[in-house]
Structure 1
Amino acid sequence: MSAVFFDGLDVSYGEAWGSHQGTTHPEPLSRAVAARRHAAGMDYAVLLSARERPLALVERWPRRMWRVYLFDDRSRRMQMIDLRPHSTGMLLAHRNTRWQVADERGRSYGTWDVRETTTVSADGQVEVRSESAGPGGTSAEPPHARTSGPSDAPARRFPAPVENFLSPVPEFGDWQVFAPFLAQQGHEPATAVVLRDVPMGEESGPLRASGIEQLFRPGACGTPDGPAVVEPVEAGLLRITSGRLAVSDPGLIGESARTVAVPPGEFPVTLSLLRTAAGAEVAAARVTFLDAPPREWDMALLPDEDLGLLGGGQFYGVGVDTGTVAFVDATRTVIEDRLDEDLFIPLDSRFTVELPGTETEPNLIAFRAGRGDGSYPVWIGRTDDGQVVCVVVDFQLRASDGGE
């Protein structure tokens, strides 16, 4: 094994991804977003590299927990260290797992021959277990797999000064705290290690409302699955009585609806059907409040959601668990026991269904949710002076092909 000597570390940020293959962030974050997540107690990941070689992946978890993956000289994750808060105010490396690979075949296939796990209690009681993959050959469990639960492997137990397993809790950006861990994979830090942030591209912010109006423009278009035809379809008039529109899975009304302040009245609902050789799907749905072009678009947010915590292309959206979304007045309730008969079964053969209202209760207009369950952005189109023109759910079946 050839050690990496380093006097500087390149620092980049992303979503936590240590359980996946790869040596770069699949979902990068800017430093600013990572810092806001740190302050909010949310999870994120820090990749520490030297000369384009990853040396450590540090994951910040909620409740002040940390996990460090260490890479060997061939950029393989061969060690995992879990750290948790200790009564001293520092971090205790309470579990340290190392994988050993005997030959190149194991290295190529990502298997291991021996796994050694060291567990340390808060008072310095140490337990070391060494497990062999057995006579049948190397284990099929990848070297970076998480370890949990009891083990039948024999253990060595002994006391040790707990100070040997403590490290400072890093402030955001103070990643030199983790440089000493790199020596456990044979890497050699200089006396002073300089940190360098890796610059990100300009498109690192939240999802933008691109091409929303084109979603309802009839005619041929392109999609990731090939050519298609857009067919706008009117789905009826939505009655708003409370001045609050709710966008929700009809099976989850009242739990996670996204609400928008709108005028009372009756307003047209339009579906955008996307027809391809494989059939037709609902690509988007819109309720229109003003006969005017939207000049700007806002993402519909819940009160506790912060756009500043989102990475590149991420969004907060309406959660779908029944393959269905509805536009409805925020005061409208549903009888859950009747949803199958009144809504979900009819939607098996139709794109949209209306649940009529009464003299005192507004109606509900539901429609299929693109390709089914998931999360989808809800956009609010506004005039220059902030009036709501329309609200759109985009099921993201089309590639962005236009401006805002």
Structure 2
Amino acid sequence: MDYAVLLSSRERPLALVEYWPRRMWRVYVFDDRSWRMQMIDLTPHSTGMLLAHRNTRWQFHNEQEYSSFKWAVRETTTVSADGMAEVKSEFAGPRGTSTEPLHAGSSDPSPVRHFLVQVEDFLCPTPEFGNWLVFVPFLAQQGHEPAASVILSDGPEGEGSGPLRPTGIGQLFSPGARDTQDGPVVVELVQAGSLRITSGQLAVSDPGWVKDPRTVAVPSGEFPVTVSLLRTTRGVNVAAARVTFLDAPACEWEMALRPDEDLGLLGEGAFYGVGVDTGVVAFLDATRTVIEDKLDEDLFIPLESRFILELSGTEPEPNLIAFRAGRGDGSYPVWIGRTDDGQVACVLVDFQLHA
């Protein structure tokens, strides 16, 4: 679905990001007066990134002109996928405003210039929902100077904003150091092995309570499991775990629901999640069984000194990959990431230790 996100600082707008159908993006950038002075249209590029295809800037003489959007100068830069750039400058002479050219030495009232550019200079990553840091470099084009480390946090949404949304998932699986509101953290990614799915149903469950797991329909086969560790001054915890089914970005996220669960019944920030009573969560095939009498010896005791453990199954029988829940016992959301054509790209459980 289409949506818009406002990036602001100290209650002052910096950029408005819009996502449209067909994977199109538009970014409006504001100056220090909170005037909308720039519009950047981005389209998908063959590299999988976004191309800043069109960049429009305006100049206004005064607040009255801005309020009525009677610009004095408009400059539009268009970049094609093969690196051909066109810059067109327009001047509002008929309105009685300035007809001075935007570039010194130009006498044409609407000069158009063509030249080749490096396409790489006009590309930016395609963000997962919540990972708005990719748009921060555009702020410098209006004179905003981001700090060495930028902290993004959700602002208040007001009453009735609905159930929990998958905000910040991209950051959970982006390794490296960063600053947060709770202090510096380091995200480390650990490859936990391959999960064998034989039934076409992935189960996400506390391994001590596998009789009623949360399931997701997925392809059969073997798929990599990645665990995100969050290192802080207080220690290291598992922040999230993910099974990847397709080597393709997740364009949309949805909460994993049981047939009798209704998102419309959830209050603000609420979710249906996987229940945890043993401090451990596991990915497993829905047909995989466990021997409860051996769980302490085979799983829970070993996980006291490690973060991840695999219980193998005799091939072609499914295995089980378990990991410690970041906050211990409780309930945690399970998210399904889908490609733009609706296929399951990944499934992850978020322990809500946001980086």
- TM-score band by shorter chain is 0.5 to 0.7
In structure 2, the residue matched to 1:266 is 222
In structure 2, the residue matched to 1:375 is 331
Q: TM-score of the superposition, structure 2-length normalised? A: 0.55
Q: Say if 1:297 and 1:379, in contact at 8 Å, map to a contact too.
A: yes
Any stretches of 5+ residues in structure 1 without a counterpart?
A: 1-199, 400-404
- Of 183, 192, 196, the residue aligned with 1:226 is 183
1:311, distance to aligned residue in structure 2 (A): 0.8
- Of 283, 305, 315, the residue aligned with 1:349 is 305
In structure 2, what residue type is equivalent to 1:282? Answer: V
In structure 2, the residue matched to 1:217 is 174
In structure 2, the residue matched to 1:390 is 346
Q: Which digits, 9 at most, give the CA deviation of each residue in 1:276-302, with x for residues without a partner?
A: 111100000000000000000000011
Q: Does 1:281 align with 2:237?
A: yes
Q: Distance in 2 between matches of 1:389 and 1:269?
A: 13
Q: Does 1:309 align with 2:309?
A: no
Q: Distance in 2 between matches of 1:299 and 1:274?
A: 23
- Of 194, 201, 226, the residue aligned with 1:244 is 201
Which structure's CA Rg is the greater one? 1
Q: Distance in 1 between matches of 2:174 and 2:297?
A: 33
Q: What's the Cα RMSD here?
A: 1.4
In structure 2, what residue type is equivalent to 1:364? Answer: L
1:210, distance to aligned residue in structure 2 (A): 1.1
In structure 2, what residue type is equivalent to 1:305? Answer: E
1:201, distance to aligned residue in structure 2 (A): 2.8
Tell me the SS of whatever aligns to 1:251.
coil
Alignment of 1:3-152 (within 5 A): none
Would you say how many aligned residue pairs link Structure 1 and Structure 2? 199
Q: Distance in 2 between matches of 1:224 and 1:277?
A: 13
Q: Does 1:298 align with 2:246?
A: no
In structure 1, what residue type is equivalent to 2:209? Answer: L
Tell me the SS of whatever aligns to 1:214.
helix
1:203, distance to aligned residue in structure 2 (A): 5.9
Q: Distance in 1 between matches of 2:238 and 2:272?
A: 20
Bigger RCO (CA 8 Å, 6+ sep): 1
Q: Distance in 2 between matches of 1:384 and 1:203?
A: 28
Q: Which digits, 9 at most, give the CA deviation of each residue in 1:323-359, with x for residues without a partner?
A: 0000000000000000000000000000000000013
Tell me the SS of whatever aligns to 1:250.
coil
Tell me the SS of whatever aligns to 2:225.
strand
Q: TM-score of the superposition, structure 1-length normalised? A: 0.48
Q: Say if 2:160 and 2:267, in contact at 8 Å, map to a contact too.
A: no
Q: Does 1:327 align with 2:312?
A: no
